[in-house]
Amino acid sequence: MKHVKPLLVALCLLATTAHAQQPIAPRLSVPSKYCLLYTIGSYFYATSLRLDYGQNQRKEMAVQDSSLSALASAIERFSSVPAALSYLDSQGWELVQSSTFPDEKSGQVGYLLRRKL
């Protein structure tokens, strides 16, 4: 019994020691661009669609991006939200969130989209 007691104490001490762990590597954030596709008219078959990527801000804050400008022009030709979302998906954009904005005449829906660079 005298020899078992030191062995048990040694095992307990071994079990309680902390082993060094590798530090968690910091997650590198991938830069993203955001835009908002919103409807003017009915919810899914809008009279028109607009793409807001920050182009309507004050001059010093406005986003100047020719590829986003071309994308916004392409979106204005769509009258179907599903078709526009499918097109944006094919261009590398992913839907982040959608929200309904009540209006007196009809509701507007905004679709927040993101594209990782």
Residue 3 domain-assigned (yes or no): no
What mean pLDDT is predicted for residues 46-72? Answer: 80
Integer Cα distance of 76 and 72 in angstroms: 6
What mean pLDDT is predicted for residues 68-76? Answer: 90
Integer Cα distance of 52 and 47 in angstroms: 17
Residue 17 domain-assigned (yes or no): no
Q: What is the pTM of this model?
A: 0.65
| 64 pLDDT more than 60 | yes
Model pLDDT, residue 98: 92
Residue 55 domain-assigned (yes or no): yes
Model pLDDT, residue 10: 57
The tens digit of pLDDT for each residue in 82-106 reads 999 999 999 999 999 998 877 666 6
The answer to whether the CB of 94 falls within 8 A of the CB of 88 is no
What mean pLDDT is predicted for residues 9-36? Answer: 66
Residue 107 domain-assigned (yes or no): yes
Residue 40 domain-assigned (yes or no): yes
Residue 37 domain-assigned (yes or no): yes
Per the structure, the count of domains in the chain is 1
| 45 pLDDT more than 60 | no
| 39 pLDDT more than 80 | yes
Integer Cα distance of 99 and 104 in angstroms: 16
Residue 111 domain-assigned (yes or no): yes
Residue 22 domain-assigned (yes or no): no
Cα of first residue to Cα of last residue in the chain, in angstroms, is 68
| Structural domain span for residue 97 | 30-116
pLDDT grade, residue 3 (50/70/90)?
low
**Amino acid present at 40:** I
